[in-house]
Chains A and B, each alone.
Chain A
């Protein structure tokens, strides 16, 4: 099958129009305030077709103000807008008996509860898992909070709200980002990495529980701690702690498992280089005509080292050399090295890919052929919104952009 033929077939196979969703008929009640991680969970369930009611306090969810430099659409911040598209939003004052009763009715008749409020608050109103699961055995209760809903620590930090930055920090992420020779201080990841990982973990837990419920007929409690998921899924702090009994320093450009594995400046922009095997590294040296470096750096064990001072020598040489080329030249040369698949194992081939600024990235036509990004007109402005990453041939994830009008009421 030729590639273009394959492309055609797959584009047809994955076309989303008129297809059902997985979670049609599943009712979700999301309780979140000042916690977009909880809204991300609700949003992804909604992408899969669930009906989501978001319960907010009277006066609304303060998270609607969270936005880069306050940029908003009709008073709604960007993440709030994206994560609450297509949800039904109700305002309740849980200090009032009537509103509590209204919420109770919702909870006893739903499939999934997302609790992104203060741990134990719903329980104190007799609306937590303890009480609701008695009446609604099938309920799946998904709690998302900084330290979870059990342990002394969870109790101790009960009043401390969540944020992505604090969650990143407790996962040890900022300790290894940055370049100590430039500025020896922890540095945050520039996206909500900790909240993303916690939200997707909560989704996995919810879907596991829903699937299991088909067999057992019973729900259960799923507990996600944002201060824990990132490090546990990456594993590195734990493996390094156990194997070496110490911590990694900030690692800048350098990598501790593969080297080189990073982004480098070239004449006309940036490229990514990865050399998974020693043969690939040697091929890279040939591409940039620096075979003289080969004897000292031949093996991964020479290049992957905890002696940063040593590896910086090679890093300097590579940086200097790569600046002599344009991205195109390097990509062409690296690709040409792979024309003999028979000898590929012997010849090696560095992975060289162009690296873009965001403006360049969203100009790439690939994303529009695949529908990875939507453009929607709002107030005479063209708004760009990412599509669901759940590309499924039978039950594709859907971002309900057509319901933008409802949320902007």
Chain B
């Protein structure tokens, strides 16, 4: 009997028993921008789907400009390169009827279509679900929006932050005694709903295997964020809003983020009696019996919080963690960006990876943290400049000839990048040495 953790590691890390990716052969078209829509395609592509991202010629997805502190890496936003890894980049000028016709042909051959444009916009262009499903009844069509595809709010514009604001979530994070609140950072209102949309697509694919039918999926940021927002039910029961509670999780017996003796921070959460009894052993007071009659009252939470705060301040971070490991209560260091990035545990698991791209060279990017023993996620290439795969896709998917493609270019139906960072290739790139760009070779064979 080998050690369990070794056994599991071997399961994940050895090349034995690996199978084809789950989404092998699944074709996805996305008409997306920013984060919400593109993240859906990102995850599908990591697990083997063939994803074509359609952009307008020239500028492409406007989020190509979205870089932390506007820092570009080899003339591209690394953020964009990572969100859109493993995808094919094609442009279509949707103002032209010919472009819409090409998109129609692509959708006819696709299994999944993802869009996060303004609700109703694609209907206006004759590319809504009701049109597309007539041409391809097996299509799984996903519309991602702020508040859903129908209803009085469906016309309102939305970003992560506005969705958080409209449902009252944005006011949840902050100190109770400070008249300020902070939105959930890092576009949680885009990433979380995007994962909900991925789950819905997978469910629809599963269903299609049995029924032969596709379907329409309407994922909204607001409804996704509602789903685990327990304050709603609390409000209906008590007539009160919980509001901001600082570092105290009101669902716990007590909790907080505390300063240690060596000037660091540690999070401690005592969720139930068992965990309170565990920390009691360390602190040396029987907290369970002392406080039992008042559990989960605000006063009790605060008193216990004071006690733990005092205890933590007399210990180093390592001492607190050592006690947590021995006695069994939740405790964790509070990491910074740099500590997350350098964390050897993350590197070992592959949620941070070094990737060597054909065009952009060596970068460090996140892997997908959904670890599957037989069908792991894979990064094959990073995003590409605007229109980069035009020729490849038109040849491979639709059988166009070089002449036909040249004609489309001339008419402005398709196009390439603007000479602007975020849209164009790096300076090291040369057209002459790139058979993929010329459509003669695939990215990954």
Whether A237 and B337, one on each chain, are in contact in the complex, defined by CB atoms closer than 8 angstroms, is yes
Whether A300 and B226, one on each chain, are in contact in the complex, defined by CB atoms closer than 8 angstroms, is no
16 examples of A-B residue contacts, CB within 8 angstroms: A66-B271, A68-B234, A159-B325, A165-B249, A166-B267, A169-B332, A172-B335, A172-B337, A207-B199, A207-B203, A235-B82, A277-B62, A355-B162, A362-B232, A385-B232, A395-B204
Q: Determine the interface band of chain A, counting residues with CB < 8 A from chain B.
A: 35 or more
Is residue A175 within 8 Å, beta carbon to beta carbon, of the partner chain?
Answer: yes
Is residue B170 within 8 Å, beta carbon to beta carbon, of the partner chain?
Answer: yes
Is residue A79 within 8 Å, beta carbon to beta carbon, of the partner chain?
Answer: yes
Q: A147-B345, A189-B185 are in contact. List 11 more A-B contacts (CB 8 A).
A: A6-B120, A68-B250, A69-B297, A73-B237, A150-B8, A190-B172, A251-B185, A258-B66, A272-B159, A392-B204, A395-B207
Whether A182 and B180, one on each chain, are in contact in the complex, defined by CB atoms closer than 8 angstroms, is yes
Question: Across the interface, which residues of B come within 8 angstroms of A185, CB to CB?
Answer: 257, 259, 265
Whether A237 and B340, one on each chain, are in contact in the complex, defined by CB atoms closer than 8 angstroms, is yes
Question: Across the interface, which residues of A come within 8 angstroms of B182, CB to CB?
Answer: 177-179, 187, 251-253
Contact bitstring A348-363, B, C-beta under 8 A = 1, else 0: 0001011111111110
CB distance from B117 to the nearest CB of A (A): 14
- Residue among B5, B183, B234 making CB contact with A120, cutoff 8 Å: B5
Is residue A386 within 8 Å, beta carbon to beta carbon, of the partner chain?
Answer: yes
Question: Across the interface, which residues of A come within 8 angstroms of B73, CB to CB?
Answer: 243
Question: Across the interface, which residues of B come within 8 angstroms of A166, CB to CB?
Answer: 267-269, 330-332
CB distance from B198 to the nearest CB of A (A): 5
Q: A161-B275, A200-B192, A356-B165 given as contacts; is B9 within 8 A of A232 (CB)?
A: no
Whether B186 and A236, one on each chain, are in contact in the complex, defined by CB atoms closer than 8 angstroms, is yes
Q: A242-B363, A274-B162, A361-B167 given as contacts; is B331 within 8 A of A236 (CB)?
A: no
The B142-170 residues at the A interface (CB cut-off 8 A) are 147-159, 161-162, 164-170
Question: Across the interface, which residues of B come within 8 angstroms of A177, CB to CB?
Answer: 173, 182, 184-185
* 4 shortest interchain CB distances as A-B pairs: A241-B341, A190-B172, A70-B296, A355-B165
Is residue A297 within 8 Å, beta carbon to beta carbon, of the partner chain?
Answer: no
Q: Determine the interface band of chain B, counting residues with CB < 8 A from chain A.
A: 35 or more
Whether B22 and A212, one on each chain, are in contact in the complex, defined by CB atoms closer than 8 angstroms, is yes
Is residue A157 within 8 Å, beta carbon to beta carbon, of the partner chain?
Answer: yes
- Interface segment among B100-108, B216-224, B396-404: the answer is B216-224
Whether B335 and A161, one on each chain, are in contact in the complex, defined by CB atoms closer than 8 angstroms, is no
Whether A218 and B374, one on each chain, are in contact in the complex, defined by CB atoms closer than 8 angstroms, is yes
Is residue A293 within 8 Å, beta carbon to beta carbon, of the partner chain?
Answer: no
Contact bitstring A61-99, B, C-beta under 8 A = 1, else 0: 011011111110100011101100000000000000000
Whether A358 and B231, one on each chain, are in contact in the complex, defined by CB atoms closer than 8 angstroms, is yes
CB distance from A157 to the nearest CB of B (A): 6
Question: Across the interface, which residues of B come within 8 angstroms of A44, CB to CB?
Answer: 199
The B220-251 residues at the A interface (CB cut-off 8 A) are 220, 222-224, 226-238, 241-242, 244-247, 249-251
Is residue B336 within 8 Å, beta carbon to beta carbon, of the partner chain?
Answer: yes
Question: Within the assembled complex, what's the spacing in Å between the Cα atoms of A13 and B141?
Answer: 13
Question: Across the interface, which residues of B come within 8 angstroms of A262, CB to CB?
Answer: 161, 183
Question: Within the assembled complex, what's the spacing in Å between the Cα atoms of A186 and B182?
Answer: 12
Is residue B436 within 8 Å, beta carbon to beta carbon, of the partner chain?
Answer: no
Whether A197 and B22, one on each chain, are in contact in the complex, defined by CB atoms closer than 8 angstroms, is no
Question: Across the interface, which residues of A come within 8 angstroms of B410, CB to CB?
Answer: none
The B398-436 residues at the A interface (CB cut-off 8 A) are none
Whether B12 and A150, one on each chain, are in contact in the complex, defined by CB atoms closer than 8 angstroms, is yes
- Residue among B232, B301, B366 making CB contact with A238, cutoff 8 Å: B366
CB distance from B205 to the nearest CB of A (A): 6
Question: Across the interface, which residues of A come within 8 angstroms of B232, CB to CB?
Answer: 358, 362, 373, 384-386
Question: Across the interface, which residues of A come within 8 angstroms of B241, CB to CB?
Answer: 357-359
- Residue among B67, B216, B257, B301 making CB contact with A188, cutoff 8 Å: B257
Is residue A58 within 8 Å, beta carbon to beta carbon, of the partner chain?
Answer: no
The B103-133 residues at the A interface (CB cut-off 8 A) are 120, 123-124, 128, 130
Question: Within the assembled complex, what's the spacing in Å between the Cα atoms of A67 and B251?
Answer: 4
Whether A389 and B233, one on each chain, are in contact in the complex, defined by CB atoms closer than 8 angstroms, is no
